[in-house]
Structure 1
Amino acid sequence: MFEDRTAAALQLAERLMIYKGQNPLILAIPRGAVPMSRIIADKLGGELDVVLVRKLRAPSNPEFAIGAINENGQVYLAGHAAQIGATPEYIEAEKAAQLELLRERRLRYTPVHPPADPHDRIVIV
C-alpha cells in the first residue's frame, strides 16, 4: 500500500494539512512511529512528543496483557485480569515496575524537558 514509512507519513501529513498553522501536538508511540511523526510535525509546523505506555503483564505469561499503564500512572485493567490469577498485590507490583520503566524511558526520550502539555491543543497520535 505504501512504498515505505516515509511515504506513508507524507501521505498522512497531506491529509492533516487542515491543522497546519494551528500548533498541533503530534504524539508518537515509540519506537516505530517516532520518525514518521517527525515528518508529520515538520509538515504541519507542530510540536512532536512521545506518548509512553506499557503493557501490564499477566502473572504466568509476561507476553499476555492484562492491561496497560501510561506514564501518569493511569491504568486500564482488562476484565480477565483476576480470572488468570492477577491479585491486587500482583497488579500493584506490576504497575510499579512498569511505571518505573516508563520514567526511565521518558528521561531517555526527552531528557531536557517535561512531556508536552496537550491542554487546549489539537492532538494527533
Structure 2
Amino acid sequence: MHRPPFQDRLDAADRMVPALAHLRGQRPLLLAIPRGAVAMAACLAERLDGEWDVVLVRKLPAPGNPEYAIGAVDEAGRWQLTAEAGRLGLDPDAIDREVARQHALLRQRRLRYSADQPPIPVRDRVVVVVDDGLATGATMAAALRAIRADGPRRLICAVPVAAADSLRRIARLADETVCLLTPEDFTAVGAYYRDFPQVDDAAVIDLITVSRRHRQSSLDAGDPDADDRFASKPAER
C-alpha cells in the first residue's frame, strides 16, 4: 500500500454517505463505537437526516497480553470470546475477572458521557453501527449482538475498511454491511488513514454537549421532533 486512502475519519465518513444514502427518510440511528467513530457517526447523522448516539462495548484483553483481544463485553455484561480465544486454554477465573473489570469501565464511561440522559432506544429503528475500521471485529460483533437483543427493525454495520475475514464473520450478525475497502494485505486500521489521532473522552463529551445544545435550540425554535434528536455537526476540518 502506498498513500493511505483516507485523509482522516471525517473523510472516511463522507465517503460512506453514498453507500448509506438509501436510509434518508427513515430517520436512521447512527451508533458510534467510541472513541474514534463518534465524529463519524455525528457526520453521518447530519448527512442522512438521522440521529446519533454511542454504543458502549469493551474488548477483553488476554490475561498478561493487553494488546491481544480475546473477546468483548457490552453494557449489559454480556460477553463472548473469539473462536481463537477458545483454543488458547485460558483460565476461566482470569477471564471472569477481566470481564468484571471491563464491565466496570463501561459503567464509568456511560456516566462520563451521558449520566443525565439514557441511551436512545433502538427498538423498531433502522440502526447503523459505525466504527473507523475492523481488525479482529470483536468489538463490532459485541455491539451488534447487544443491539440485536434490543429489537431494531434493521441492523447495519458500516466501516470504511476491514480485514476481509473479519467482515465475513460480521456479516452474519447484521442485516446489511457497508465497507468501502477490504485490502488483501490488511495490516492495522490506522494504516489506511493519513491522519489517525487518538481520541480522548473529552472530545467525545464535547460532541455530545454540542449535540444537546443543538437539540435544545431546536426545541426553543418549536421543532416537535427535536426532543428525540441526538445529531450535531462535527467540527470543521
Q: Per-residue deviation at 1:84?
A: 4.1
Give the 4+ runs in structure 1 shifted more than 3 A: 79-85
Match of 1:37 among 35, 41, 44: 41
**TM-score, normalised with respect to structure 2:** 0.48
Residues 51 and 72 from structure 1, CA distance in 2 versus in 1: closer, same or farther, beyond 3 angstroms?
same
Give the distance between the partners of 2:55 and 2:14, measured in 1 at CA: 21
Do structure 1's residue 60 and structure 2's residue 74 form an aligned pair? Answer: no
Q: How does 1:39-118 map to 2 (within 5 A)?
A: 39-81=43-85, 84=88, 86-118=90-122
Residues 79 and 105 from structure 1, CA distance in 2 versus in 1: closer, same or farther, beyond 3 angstroms?
same
Aligned positions, number: 125
Match of 2:10 in 1: 6
Q: Per-residue deviation at 1:111?
A: 2.3
In the alignment, structure 2 segments of 5+ residues that lack a partner are: 130-237
Q: Per-residue deviation at 1:27?
A: 0.7
Q: Is the 8 A contact 1:25 1:48 kept in 2?
A: yes
Deviates more, 1:61-70 or 1:97-106: 61-70
Give the distance between the partners of 2:85 and 2:15, measured in 1 at CA: 39
> What percent of counterpart residues are identical?
51
In angstroms, what is the RMSD of aligned CA positions? 1.9
In the alignment, structure 1 segments of 5+ residues that lack a partner are: none
Match of 1:15 among 16, 19, 35: 19
Q: Per-residue deviation at 1:80?
A: 4.4
